[in-house]
Amino acid sequence: MILMVRELTKHFGGLRALADVTFELGEGQILGLLGPNGAGKTTLFNVVNGVFAPDIGSIVFEGREIGGLPAYEVARRGLARTHQVVRPLDELTVIENVMVGACFGRERHSRSSAARIAGEVLDRVGLAERAGQQASSLNVAQKKRLELARALAARPLLLLLDEVLAGLNPTEIALMLGTIRGIRDEGVTILMIEHVMQAVMGVSDYLFVLDHGTVIARGLPAEVVANPAVIEAYLGDPDAAAGLSR
């Protein structure tokens, strides 16, 4: 297993954001993380990638404990992420944004080699012709791809994707899903948060669901969406689950 999370718990004052979260992710897999708003999904990402330290529990990545390490050190170990709210460096060009990922990622490239890697990654995500533009000039779909490119330039072994499909139209979602599958096929393991249920079912090997910071279901996509606890917490009614499982 490339990632093993055991009994992860996180509090913010009197609020318990995560409670005994346990899951594992095999190398080369795509694991989808679902849950209603406020379930703790992004908090889980923030604890795994070092933004917050866990109160209790362990996070073992590539056989080594990373729980409590700062985010820059986690990045150097080979874990990269995107953010739910895209965060381009607006004053920099598109290619300079991606170079940041190469310079501060797993391989810590020099400026010259970072430029080469950034060019390759931009071509990979379909932004090569935008390389010289200011990042602030991109539309939503392009900024999503820029966020993904910056993470990929870090040469991750494990990629955390936080709602990369949010705000995209159906054509853009299909293109992004193709890109995600291609990244996995190139050997990068993926853990992704997503609200576009049908899409995440189609791309994920396994799913797990958080509700109020607790794992309430895990397994194959069809099994998870038919789980009564998931229907109650996330889907709202049995007819929604039936539509997804067809």
In one letter, which amino acid is 134? Q
CA-based nearest residue to 192, from 226, 221, 232, 230: 221
Mean pLDDT of the chain: 91
Domain spans, the chain: 1-69+196-246
Under the banding of pLDDT at 50, 70 and 90, the label for residue 235 is low
Kind of pairing between the strands at 158-162 and 79-81: parallel
CA distances, 161 to each of 15, 30, 99, 166, 171 (Å): 25, 10, 19, 11, 19
Under the banding of pLDDT at 50, 70 and 90, the label for residue 238 is low
Q: What's the CATH architecture for 1-69+196-246?
A: 3-Layer(aba) Sandwich (3.40)
Q: Token match 């190139």: residue?
A: 186
Q: pLDDT digit string (tens) for 15-70?
A: 999 999 999 999 999 999 998 888 999 999 999 999 999 999 999 999 999 999 99
Note the pTM of the prediction, 2 decimals.
0.90
